[in-house]
């Protein structure tokens, strides 16, 4: 079968203007290959035109994006939310206007570093619910969601002249019943959208394309494995990994040469669809991060989380894309090439290589030869009678005269561009004021408003409390009165992962226990906070549970939990059934002080230095030039002087920040090596402000600092130039 082999991705020549015939290997009846980038619409707040233009300039022709169910239907049965950065129709229309195709990864489970893997929490309340399984409650909800989304995007399907030419059902399905897999395939037929469907990195139905995720598909043996298992299917790589980052971990990096090796070896081996995961890093604005994941993620990919080119990787891979576009006709002129072994010079003799291969494409005396050296050393090889030196881990492409056209190991020196950081605001111009959350009260008030408090005999799990109150708060207070003698006290409880528990006794912050890492439904941890109680009597115990995100590894019968979920002991005394007052959210959140003027701010910020649960507010102006160029020269909040909390700019929730230091003892993420220059430095120190949020005058930044700010005056607004 021709045209299913090599990923060659020229710029899109024309958007489909009429109903088009799309099959596994053809578009409008001609061989066609897709070079795709994964770009999650929700993390690219308002930047679609700018980002799509960058994709086209890099030689990409397809945008691959997820659909996040819990962003569109937060409350069961509500009209789908397509406003602001949930505007999927606008995303698709912009792609069409810019001449880009779309692979719509419908899911509805998407993983995606997104809280609960994109699934709405209200699903857990439905009787008999079991995620991603052959059970009627799940299948009914999944089918209903899928039909509603496909109805909403109908104008953007290829048959209507739209950009959607592929879609994906479920995601990374590896342990499901075969009945469920087959049901997914049958659902794609019922959706009747006239485009091919894929299933990614796991099980697949017979009527879908089995796609893979991989950093090095050739070396990992996934190419040959795919063609043995699915000889009539094209080879799709849905995720060439960039990966996420845990709080407390050090960022992993992949060199430009290593990514280029992965890409060109994929093309040489016959790949048909290549997508970077990610091509553009993302930002977890608001409370969208999965458990234990940083605000910014995949920051080492072609475009960083703030949208700036990651040089020299960006330029190097752009050359790879344009090279493939230039030779597209030649690469598409035949079936995929098999690999052939090349000899290499081993000290004093030639021997057949185990990591040295070549692939051949062409006809009519026009050829391309892809020479592959997977060894970690430079080698001398013999090809068509010519001795050739190849750098370590490289792909060299030659033409019929053996002229070198591309070498993945060679970086142009002019691409080594470093960006500088400059203040966007003079630090001394940030005039901070402060307000601290009241503690030491069972039912606190703000601006004359009493916090909504409910009492239960034993603690209620945080996510359940949020669902019961239609709340998106990621913090829950537990308060109870305990009679005790003075002395050494150990409070022991069952703690969920990707969570913190802050302990206050009689209004004073004592200490906290936290688990900062990414979570995979691994059960609870027996945890203890120890302190010395100075006096006897009735003591107010306050525990603030802080949720760092819901696990995104969703499998059947697996529901994540947050907050206090088991027994609680005060030394040997069981206080689980002691009677607990619950308050969802901080008072500042309940009163929305980041957008309402209901409290009195204090200009004397020094008295709040180091105090837990303190809000800070400042105004700042920006030059017209800074605002105008905020997309190409992005603006960030630099959080030196803070510890952990949330940032709001002009009422927009930038998301969680944490200056927790990176530990180089924690292993690197897959496909990457640890960036040792970041050891013992904050996991993330800069937090991106979307350009659309900024204005020239009267910007307002509000910070809720949970653990106590050592120096609020060190915080600054900076820009990358």
Q: What per-residue confidence (pLDDT) applies to 241? A: 82
| Residue intervals in the chain for CATH 2.60.120.260 | 421-436+592-720, 445-585
Q: What is the dihedral of CA 318, 324, 325, 330, to 10 degrees?
A: 170
The CA distances from residue 203 to 138, 168, 210, 211, 347, in Å, are 18, 13, 7, 9, 45
Query: 529: which strand partners?
Result: 491
User: How many of the other CB atoms lie within 10 Å of CB of 420?
Assistant: 7
The candidate with the shortest Cα–Cα distance to 340, out of 327, 332, 352, is 352
List pLDDT tens digits, range 251-292. Answer: 899 999 999 999 999 999 999 999 999 999 999 999 999 999
Going by pLDDT thresholds of 50, 70 and 90, the confidence category of residue 18 is very low
Please give the residue that has the higher pLDDT: either 173 or 33.
Answer: 173
CB 195 within 8 A of CB 103: no
Q: What per-residue confidence (pLDDT) applies to 629? A: 96
- C-alpha to C-alpha distance for 174 and 644, rounded to whole angstroms: 36
- C-alpha to C-alpha distance for 225 and 285, rounded to whole angstroms: 39
Going by pLDDT thresholds of 50, 70 and 90, the confidence category of residue 482 is very high
Burial of 211 (0-12, 13-18, 19+ CB in 10 A): buried
Residue in this structure with the two tokens 């897999």, named with its chain if needed: 181
Give me the percent of the chain exceeding a pLDDT of 90: 84
Phi, psi values for residue 518, rounded to 5°: -60, 140
Q: What per-residue confidence (pLDDT) applies to 30? A: 53
- C-alpha to C-alpha distance for 695 and 622, rounded to whole angstroms: 7
Going by pLDDT thresholds of 50, 70 and 90, the confidence category of residue 69 is very high
Category of 386 on φ-ψ map: left (φ > 0), alpha (ψ -120 to 50) or beta: beta
Going by pLDDT thresholds of 50, 70 and 90, the confidence category of residue 413 is confident
Q: What per-residue confidence (pLDDT) applies to 99? A: 96
List pLDDT tens digits, range 334-355. Answer: 999 999 999 999 999 999 999 9
- For residue 24, pLDDT beyond 60: no
- For residue 250, pLDDT beyond 80: yes
Q: What per-residue confidence (pLDDT) applies to 524? A: 86
State the pairing for strand pair 197-200/164-169.
parallel
Indicate the fold that domain 445-585 takes in CATH.
Answer: Jelly Rolls (2.60.120)
- For residue 521, pLDDT beyond 90: no
User: Is residue 588 helix, strand or coil?
Assistant: helix
Computed on alpha carbons and rounded to an integer, the radius of gyration of the chain in Å comes to: 28
Average pLDDT over residues 91-118: 96
| Residue intervals in the chain for CATH 3.20.20.80 | 26-248+268-291
Omega before residue 108 within 30° of 0, cis: yes
Class of the 421-436+592-720 domain? mainly beta
Q: What is the DSSP string of 185-231?
A: HHHHHHH--SS-EEEESS---TTSEEEEE-S-TTTTTHHHHHHHH-T
State the pairing for strand pair 580-584/453-456.
antiparallel
Please give the residue that has the higher pLDDT: either 333 or 716.
Answer: 716
Q: Point out the least confidently predicted range of 24-33, 38-47, 280-289, 305-314.
A: 24-33
The CA distances from residue 73 to 77, 155, 195, in Å, are 7, 21, 25
Q: Point out the least confidently predicted range of 23-32, 549-558, 583-592.
A: 23-32
- C-alpha to C-alpha distance for 156 and 89, rounded to whole angstroms: 8
The mean predicted confidence, pLDDT, of the chain is: 92
Going by pLDDT thresholds of 50, 70 and 90, the confidence category of residue 246 is very high
Average pLDDT over residues 179-188: 99
| Number of helices and strands in the chain (H, E) | 12, 42
- For residue 44, pLDDT beyond 90: no
- C-alpha to C-alpha distance for 307 and 286, rounded to whole angstroms: 18
Going by pLDDT thresholds of 50, 70 and 90, the confidence category of residue 42 is low
- C-alpha to C-alpha distance for 104 and 101, rounded to whole angstroms: 10
Most distant CA atoms of the chain, gap in Å: 94
Q: What per-residue confidence (pLDDT) applies to 671? A: 86
- For residue 8, pLDDT beyond 50: no
Q: What per-residue confidence (pLDDT) applies to 74? A: 94
Q: What per-residue confidence (pLDDT) applies to 33? A: 56
State the number of CA atoms in the 13 A half-sphere of 718 facing the CB. Answer: 17
Q: What per-residue confidence (pLDDT) applies to 6? A: 27
List pLDDT tens digits, range 501-516. Answer: 999 999 999 999 999 9
Indicate the fold that domain 26-248+268-291 takes in CATH.
Answer: TIM Barrel (3.20.20)
């Amino acid at each position: 079968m021709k045209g299913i082999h090599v990923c060659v991705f020229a710029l899109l020549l024309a958007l489909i203007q009429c109903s088009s015939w799309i099959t596994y290997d053809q578009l409008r009846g001609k061989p066609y290959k897709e070079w795709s980038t994964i770009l999650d619409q929700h993390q690219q707040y308002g930047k679609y035109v700018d980002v799509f233009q960058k994709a086209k300039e890099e030689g990409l022709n397809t945008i691959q994006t997820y659909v996040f169910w819990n962003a569109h239907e937060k409350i069961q049965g509500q009209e789908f939310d397509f406003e602001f950065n949930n505007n999927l129709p606008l995303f698709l229309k912009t792609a069409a206007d810019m001449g880009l195709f779309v692979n719509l990864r419908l899911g509805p489970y998407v993983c995606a570093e997104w809280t609960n893997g994109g699934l709405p929490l209200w699903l857990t309340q439905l009787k008999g619910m079991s995620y991603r399984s052959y059970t009627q409650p799940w299948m009914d909800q999944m089918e209903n969601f899928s039909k509603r989304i496909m109805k909403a995007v109908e104008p953007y399907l290829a048959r209507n002249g739209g950009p959607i030419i592929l879609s994906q059902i479920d995601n990374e399905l590896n342990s499901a019943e075969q009945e469920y897999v087959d049901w997914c395939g049958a659902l794609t037929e019922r959706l009747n959208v006239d485009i091919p469907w894929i299933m990614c990195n796991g099980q697949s139905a017979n009527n879908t394309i089995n796609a893979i995720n991989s950093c090095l598909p050739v070396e990992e043996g996934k190419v040959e494995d795919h063609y043995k298992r699915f000889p009539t299917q094209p080879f799709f790589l849905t995720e060439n990994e960039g990966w996420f980052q845990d709080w407390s971990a050090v960022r992993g990096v992949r060199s430009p040469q290593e990514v280029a090796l992965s890409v060109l070896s994929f093309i040489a081996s016959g790949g048909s669809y290549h997508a970077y995961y990610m091509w553009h890093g993302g930002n977890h604005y608001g409370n969208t991060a999965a458990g234990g994941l940083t605000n910014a993620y995949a920051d080492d990919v072609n475009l960083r989380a703030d949208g700036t080119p990651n040089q020299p990787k960006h330029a190097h891979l752009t050359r790879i894309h344009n090279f493939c576009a230039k030779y597209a006709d030649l690469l598409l002129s035949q079936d995929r090439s098999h690999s052939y072994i090349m000899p290499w010079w081993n000290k004093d003799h030639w021997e057949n290589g185990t990591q040295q291969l070549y692939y051949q494409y062409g006809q009519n005396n026009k050829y391309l030869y892809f020479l592959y050296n997977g060894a970690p050393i430079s080698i001398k090889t013999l090809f068509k009678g010519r001795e050739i030196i190849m750098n370590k881990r490289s792909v060299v492409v030659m033409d019929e005269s053996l002229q070198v056209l591309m070498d993945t190991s060679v970086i142009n020196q002019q691409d080594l561009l470093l960006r500088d950081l400059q203040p966007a605001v003079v630090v001394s111009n940030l005039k901070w004021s402060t307000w601290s959350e009241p503690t030491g009260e069972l039912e606190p008030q703000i601006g004359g408003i009493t916090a909504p408090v409910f009492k239960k005999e034993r603690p209620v799990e945080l996510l359940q409390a949020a669902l019961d109150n239609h709340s998106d708060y990621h913090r829950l207070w537990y308060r109870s009165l305990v009679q005790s003698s003075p002395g050494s006290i150990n409070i022991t409880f069952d703690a969920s992962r990707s969570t913190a528990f802050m302990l206050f006794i009689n209004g004073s912050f004592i200490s906290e226990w936290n688990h900062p890492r990414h979570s995979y439904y691994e059960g609870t941890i027996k945890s203890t906070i120890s302190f010395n109680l100075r006096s006897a009597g009735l003591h107010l115990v306050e525990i603030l549970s802080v949720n760092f995100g819901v696990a995104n590894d969703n499998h059947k019968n697996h529901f994540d939990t947050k907050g206090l979920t088991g027994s609680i002991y005060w030394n040997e005394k069981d206080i689980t059934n002691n009677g607990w007052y619950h308050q969802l959210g901080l008072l500042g959140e309940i009163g929305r002080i980041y957008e309402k003027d209901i409290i009195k701010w204090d200009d004397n910020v020094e008295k709040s230095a180091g105090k837990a649960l303190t809000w800070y507010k400042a105004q700042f102006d920006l030059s017209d030039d800074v605002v105008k160029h905020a997309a190409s020269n992005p603006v960030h909040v630099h959080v030196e002087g803070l510890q952990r909390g949330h940032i709001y700019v002009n009422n927009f929730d930038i998301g969680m920040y944490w200056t927790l230091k990176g530990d180089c003892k924690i292993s690197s993420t897959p496909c990457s090596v640890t960036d040792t220059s970041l050891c013992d430095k904050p996991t993330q120190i800069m937090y991106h402000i979307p350009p659309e949020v900024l204005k020239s005058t009267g910007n307002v930044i509000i910070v809720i600092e949970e653990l106590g700010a050592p120096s609020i005056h060190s915080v600054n607004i900076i820009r990358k130039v």
